[in-house]
Structure 1
Amino acid sequence: MQTRRTPLVSTTLGTSRELVSFHFGDAGRGGERVYMQSSLHADETPAMLTAWTLKKRLADLEAAGRVRGEIVLVPVANPIGLSQHVLGQFLGRFETNSGHNFNRGFPSPSADALIERVGARLSSDDAAHNARVLRGALVGMLGEMSAKNEFESLRLALLTMASQADIVLDLHCSLEATMHVYTSPASWPAIEPLARYLGANGVLLATDSGGQSFDEVHALLWNEVRARLGDKTPLGAPNIAATIEHRGQRDVDYDTASQDADAIVDYLIARGVIEGEANDAPPLAQPATPLAGSQQLIAPVSGIVVYRAKVGARLKAGDAVFDIVDPISDDVTTVTTSNEGVFYMRRAIRFVYAGAPMGRVTGEKPVRTGVLIGA
Structure 2
Amino acid sequence: MRTDRKTLVSTTLGTSRELVSFHFGDAGDSSEKVYIQASLHADETPAMLTAWTLKQRLIELEAQRRVRGEIALVPVANPIGLSQHVLGQFLGRFEANSGHNFNRGFPMPTAAALIERVGARFSSGDDAYNAHLLRGALVELLGEMRAKNEFESLRLALLTLASRADIVLDLHCSLEATMHIYTSPASWPAIEPLARHLGANGVLLATDSGGQSFDEVHALLWNEVRALLGDRAPLGAPNIAATIEHRGQRDVDYDTASHDANAIVEYLIARGVIEGEPKDAPPLAQAATPLAGSQQLTAPVSGIVVYRAKVGARLKAGDPVFDIVDPLSDAVTTVTTNNDGVFYMRRAIRFVQAGAPMGRVTGETPIRTGVLIGA
TM-score calculated relative to the size of structure 1: 0.99
Aligned to 2:216: 216
Secondary structure (helix, strand or coil) at the match of 2:117 reads helix
Task: Give per-residue Cα distances to partners, 1:200-244, cap 9 Å, x unaligned.
Answer: 000000000000000000110011111211244111335110000
In 1, Cα distance between equivalents of 2:198 and 2:72 = 20
Shift of 1:108: 0.6
In 1, Cα distance between equivalents of 2:245 and 2:257 = 12
Aligned to 2:254: 254
In 1, Cα distance between equivalents of 2:47 and 2:354 = 31
Secondary structure (helix, strand or coil) at the match of 1:159 reads helix
The amino acid across from 2:46 in the alignment is P
Shift of 1:117: 1.2
For 1:150-189, list aligned pairs within 5 A.
Answer: 150-189=150-189
**Structure 1: which 5+ runs fail to align?**
none
* Paired residue total: 375
Shift of 1:188: 0.5
In 1, Cα distance between equivalents of 2:27 and 2:124 = 24
Aligned to 1:63: 63
Secondary structure (helix, strand or coil) at the match of 1:28 reads coil
Aligned to 1:108: 108
CA RMSD of aligned residues (A): 0.7
The amino acid across from 1:16 in the alignment is S
Aligned to 1:190: 190
Aligned to 1:73: 73
**Structure 2: which 5+ runs fail to align?**
none
In 2, Cα distance between equivalents of 1:121 and 1:2 = 32
Shift of 1:333: 0.2
Shift of 1:289: 0.3
Moved more, 282-291 or 235-244: 235-244
TM-score calculated relative to the size of structure 2: 0.99
In 2, Cα distance between equivalents of 1:117 and 1:268 = 32
Identity percentage of aligned residues: 86
The amino acid across from 1:144 in the alignment is E
In 1, Cα distance between equivalents of 2:28 and 2:99 = 42
The amino acid across from 2:157 in the alignment is A
Task: Give per-residue Cα distances to partners, 1:275-300, cap 9 Å, x unaligned.
Answer: 00121100100000000000000100
In 1, Cα distance between equivalents of 2:92 and 2:169 = 19
Task: Give per-residue Cα distances to partners, 1:160-218, cap 9 Å, x unaligned.
Answer: 00000000000000000000000000100100100001000000000000000000001
Shift of 1:71: 0.2
Aligned to 2:370: 370
Aligned to 2:239: 239
In 1, Cα distance between equivalents of 2:354 and 2:259 = 39
Aligned to 1:280: 280
CA contact (8 A) 2:186 2:238 kept: no
CA contact (8 A) 1:23 1:72 kept: yes
CA contact (8 A) 2:176 2:347 kept: yes
Aligned to 2:294: 294
CA contact (8 A) 2:187 2:238 kept: no
In 1, Cα distance between equivalents of 2:137 and 2:298 = 45
In 2, Cα distance between equivalents of 1:228 and 1:275 = 37
Moved more, 26-35 or 72-81: 26-35
CA contact (8 A) 1:27 1:68 kept: no
In 2, Cα distance between equivalents of 1:265 and 1:320 = 39
User: Is the aligned partner of 1:125 residue 2:125?
Assistant: yes
Shift of 1:27: 3.8
In 1, Cα distance between equivalents of 2:260 and 2:346 = 21
CA contact (8 A) 2:202 2:288 kept: yes
In 1, Cα distance between equivalents of 2:224 and 2:165 = 17
Secondary structure (helix, strand or coil) at the match of 1:365 reads coil
